[in-house]
């Protein structure tokens, strides 16, 4: 069974359908003995392999590590505001991390250092050699797809083909002062313009509206190094997960508020959507953002991150104040203090890579078993540079130690999901 994942992945759609039917027959017959695990007799749709099988079949054998920036305070009065970003990117480049992500943020102290990921990515391209440089995310409805294709082709050339982009709709009313007419239809506009960016990236000539309604055909320059643009979609709702799968994009998401079983279901639905729309389910990358700080002592880490994380959470909530009025109370109030403490404890225990390598390794195993390919480790939530670099040393060591363990977890998950008798007839 050690090669089961690969063998399932190589099945034709017809073989997968045959395997699904054999599994249904075995479920209706019931377990072969009293000690066998109970299975559901509910029929599955005949349109493709069962959702659970899709997810297990493409469970990753390993999990990649990247670093993610999102929340640095734009009001900080420092001479070198971007030192944390630069030093962390250099560390990631030297230590085998997969990518460095920078976001697009506007008009808020929360994330205020990051108004343009293309500009920052161009800088990172010049100080790194190996690590991929990604936007997490470009709010596409705020921009012309032509400018996105042009700007990122420049970064792709500077980095010699190391870029990737996650596209997002955005959500804050104030951001849309940049393109106010696009707010209401932002989701459809994002998916439409992802297609335009992809076509321009591939070198196609695209017809777009010019002055006085006259159509103009354009082809962008410079030509990128990468022939195909690596595309992610930043997802929250189940519907957006499915849409991302339908267009063959990767996905970027956050773990907060999503239980592991729900994450597993969403990933399975995403991979099923890829399969049903002609995209290889095995190549879809699921990147999950996680607040990250590692250390050798659990309580020391808890005490180190408690203050910064609570400030981070309050700053996050404060973004909503312009849209909800005074519904967000001051952090000094007793009610808000209690809420922030509860939120911190939940994050620390259930939704982060905060703690010892052992604790965080266990979290990563759960994510890998659910179908996650990449841990996007958010590190700029308020810790000083020294603490962040110390944490990255622990994270780099965990990255090296996890490869074999996650491989074993992925294979075990695939084997458990299939009845051996049914799989044997199809796979032998």
pLDDT digit string (tens) for 43-77? 333 344 555 545 545 555 589 999 999 876 755 65
Q: Say which DSSP state 44 is in.
A: P
Contact between 166 and 136 under an 8 Å Cβ cutoff? The reply is yes
- Count of Cβ atoms closer than 10 Å to residue 92 Cβ: 26
- Count of Cβ atoms closer than 10 Å to residue 322 Cβ: 13
Residue 40: per-residue pLDDT: 32
C-alpha 373/C-alpha 135 separation (Å) is: 17
What is the DSSP annotation of 240-270? HHHHHHHTT-EEEEE-TT--HHHHHHHHHHH
Domain spans, the chain: 53-298+355-415
Q: Say which DSSP state 237 is in.
A: S
The CATH code of domain 53-298+355-415 reads: 3.20.20.30
pLDDT digit string (tens) for 178-212? 999 999 999 999 999 999 999 999 999 999 999 98
Q: Roughly how many angstroms between the first and final C-alpha of the chain, as a whole number? A: 11
Q: Say which DSSP state 142 is in.
A: G
pTM (2 decimals)? 0.79
**More confident site: 253 or 15:** 253
Beta strands 231-234; 250-254: pairing state: parallel
317 pLDDT tier (thresholds 50, 70, 90) = low
The two three-digit tokens of residue 59, written as one number: 């469970």
Average pLDDT over residues 412-425: 41
């Amino acid at each position: 069974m050690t090669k089961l994942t690969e063998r399932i992945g190589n099945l034709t759609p017809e073989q997968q359908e045959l395997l699904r039917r054999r599994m249904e027959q075995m479920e209706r017959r019931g377990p072969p003995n009293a000690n066998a695990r109970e299975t559901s007799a509910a029929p599955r749709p005949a349109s493709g392999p069962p959702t659970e099988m899709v997810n297990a079949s493409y469970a990753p054998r390993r999990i990649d590590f990247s670093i993610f920036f999102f929340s640095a305070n734009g009001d900080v009065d420092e001479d070198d505001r971007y030192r944390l970003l630069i030093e962390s990117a250099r560390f990631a480049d030297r230590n085998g991390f997969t990518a460095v992500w920078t976001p697009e943020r506007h008009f808020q102290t929360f994330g205020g250092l990051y108004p343009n990921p293309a500009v920052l990515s161009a800088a990172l391209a010049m100080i790194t050699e190996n690590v991929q440089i990604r936007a997490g995310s470009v709010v596409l409805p705020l921009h012309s797809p032509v400018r996105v294709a042009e700007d990122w082709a420049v970064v792709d050339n500077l980095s010699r083909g190391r870029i990737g982009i996650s596209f997002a709709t955005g959500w804050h009313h104030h951001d849309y002062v940049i393109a106010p007419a696009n707010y209401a239809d932002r989701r459809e506009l994002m998916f439409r313009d992802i297609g335009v960016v992809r076509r321009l990236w591939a070198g196609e000539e695209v017809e777009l509206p010019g002055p006085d309604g006259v159509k103009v055909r354009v082809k962008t320059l410079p030509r990128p190094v990468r022939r195909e643009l690596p595309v992610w979609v930043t997802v929250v709702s189940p519907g957006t997960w499915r849409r991302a799968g339908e267009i063959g994009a990767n996905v970027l998401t956050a773990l907060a508020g999503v239980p592991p079983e729900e994450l597993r279901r969403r990933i399975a639905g995403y991979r099923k959507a890829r399969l049903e729309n002609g995209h290889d389910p095995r190549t879809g990358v699921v990147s999950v953002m996680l607040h990250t700080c590692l250390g050798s002592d659990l309580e020391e880490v808890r005490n180190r991150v408690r203050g910064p994380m609570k400030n981070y959470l309050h700053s996050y909530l404060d973004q909503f104040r312009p849209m909800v009025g005074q519904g967000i109370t001051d952090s000094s109030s007793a009610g808000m203090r209690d809420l922030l403490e509860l939120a911190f404890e939940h994050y620390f225990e259930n939704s982060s890579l905060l703690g010892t390598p052992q604790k965080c390794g266990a979290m990563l195993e759960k994510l890998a078993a659910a179908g996650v390919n990449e841990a996007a480790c958010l590190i700029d939530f308020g810790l000083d540079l020294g603490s962040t670099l110390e944490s990255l040393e622990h994270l780099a060591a965990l990255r090296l130690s996890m490869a074999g363990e996650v491989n074993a977890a992925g294979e075990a998950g695939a084997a458990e999901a299939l009845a051996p008798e049914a799989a044997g007839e199809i796979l032998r």
